[in-house]
Amino acid sequence: MKFETIVALATPPMKSALAIIRVSGDDAFDIVSKCFDKDIRSIDKRTLLVGSIIDKDRVVDDVVLAVYKGPKSFTGEDLVEIICHGSLLIANEIIELLIANGARYATNGEYSSRAFLNQKIDLIQAEAINDVINATTKEAKNLSILSLKGKTSELILPLKTRVADILSLIEVNIDYPEYEDIEVANKDKVVEVIDELIPQIDKLVKEGQEGIIVKEGIKVAIIGKPNVGKSSILNALLGESKAIVTDIAGTTRDIVEGDINLNGIILHLVDTAGIRDSSDVIESIGIEKSKESVEKADLVIVVLDSTSELDDFDNEILDISKDKARIVVYNKKDQLSHELSKDNKIYVSALNNDIEALKKAIISKIGVSEEAFSNPSLNNTRQLGLLKNVKESLLKAKEDALNDLPIDLVSVSLLSAYTSILEILGESNQIDISKEIFARFCVGK
Ligand SMILES: Nc1nc2c(ncn2[C@@H]2O[C@H](COP(=O)(O)OP(=O)(O)OP(=O)(O)O)[C@@H](O)[C@H]2O)c(=O)[nH]1
Ligand SMILES: [Mg+2]
């Protein structure tokens, strides 16, 4: 397969001391040689060169070249990094020159996809590159770096091996029944292996879900009647007066959003319009949005006024949030005279910035373990979705085995579990599964 030579600016498109232009592909050395004052075509190992980019006889810029001979490069192909002066004019001129000599602009993520296609990285690592760049907390960045280093991929290798073991045993039993020295792949064996794998998958799913929370944070909707102090709670959590607070019921009409980092987890907070019956058109739209934000939230904070009895609106709010992960919080505790510590309710005073109890409740409700911050996990929805497919296929195989279906039919579901495992790693299109399986046996030797 021939790879076209691609070029792009690897540094941000702004004025800086230096800029880096990356050129990668089968003709990278050829094309760069046409624009550089030295011929780099015969370079066969990683080399650093100083020289000039030349357009006809004119020097465009004095540069440093980092030359990587494939496959020992990020993309796995011949790759050159041109370190030039950090003016956009210069960088663009060099890129245009490379294009005029046969390169083309790289599309988004094309360097990583080349690295994947050339099997320098697997799909989990390719996804991690993006995650590292987009991480908003130190914890999220650390997790993504673990994935980039291949630690996440290692998590599913034992699973892959075990399913391949049982699959190949079945295949060998079917295809070579005359082999007496090979273990029999019967129904009990299949059930035994699956029973061993399911708890491991459940653990990976749980850790993955926690990893997603560390990486992406959670959406938290603050809901309640007008005037109970929702916006005051938002402001107290954010540590700034972002939402307008007044004693007029119906102050907040639209959604007000803000993010905080609570113990390493990003909370995407959403303050909403107070829920009540309203004839005001604008307020009514706001109330609809409040109800929608309950649907979208991962966690709902229901705010009640601790100085008054619950009314129909409070009950409606408790009802619409009853199936969600939620925390019910009693605000305005500064106005209460009775002893609070006797009941298990969460009391706060947003007015006095006294919201520690709420913060603690949020942390405990999110329930992310310490390990989720430092251990690798399958932490994106694609990986987790496929992992769930693996589990379903294995359960189907177990059911078929228990129903005494012929073993070759049982193996259909096992094969589908195996394919999903390969898909997690992005290997399903590259590897001939039967070859992979039979590589384990020396049948016919
Ligand atoms: N005493 C006391 N007053 C509070 C507390 N929290 C909020 N308030 C007051 O209650 C009133 C309403 O507060 P907001 O934060 O605007 O209430 P809200 O729930 O956002 O109201 P809407 O936007 O109208 O739905 C304001 O006068 C606040 O100062 C508190 O903890 N104690
Ligand atoms: Mg408000």
Task: State if residue 251 touches ligand 1 by the CB under 6 angstroms criterion.
Answer: yes
- How far apart are the CA of 354 and the centre of ligand 1, in A? 14
- How far apart are the CA of 395 and the centre of ligand 2, in A? 49
- For the stretch 208-241, pLDDT in tens is 999 999 999 999 999 999 999 999 999 999 999 9
- Of the residues 222, 227, 255, which should be mutated to test ligand 1's pocket, given the most ligand atoms within 8 Å of the CB? 227
Ligand at minimal distance from the CA of 303 is: 1
Task: State if residue 332 touches ligand 1 by the CB under 6 angstroms criterion.
Answer: yes
Task: State if residue 286 touches ligand 1 by the CB under 6 angstroms criterion.
Answer: no
Sheet holding 79-85, edge to edge: 47-55, 58-68, 79-85, 18-24, 6-9, 104-105
Determine if the pTM surpasses 0.85.
no
Residue 434 pLDDT > 70, yes or no? no
Q: Which atom of ligand 1 is nearest to the CA of 226?
A: 25
Q: Which domains does the chain have, with CATH numbers?
A: 6-117 (3.30.1360.120), 151-212+377-438 (1.20.120.430), 216-366 (3.40.50.300)
Rounded mean pLDDT, 8-23: 93
306 vs 351: CA distance, rounded Å:
13
- How far apart are the CA of 228 and the centre of ligand 1, in A? 5
Please tell me the least confidently modeled range out of 114-118, 332-336, 359-363.
114-118
Residue 427: name the closest of 126, 179, 165 by CA: 126
Report every protein residue that has its C-beta within 5 angstroms of ion ligand 2. 230-231, 251-252
For atom 24 of ligand 1, which residue has the closest CA? 250
Looking at residue 169, what is its pLDDT?
Answer: 84
Looking at residue 443, what is its pLDDT?
Answer: 40
The average confidence (pLDDT) of the chain is: 90
Rounded mean pLDDT, 277-301: 91
User: 152-183: string of b/e by CB count within 10 Å (b at 16+)?
Assistant: bbebbeebbebbbebbbbbbbbeeeeeeeeee
Rounded mean pLDDT, 335-342: 74
Q: Which atom of ligand 1 is nearest to the CA of 247?
A: 27
For atom 9 of ligand 1, which residue has the closest CA? 229
- For the stretch 344-393, pLDDT in tens is 899 999 999 999 999 999 999 998 999 999 999 998 888 999 999 999 99
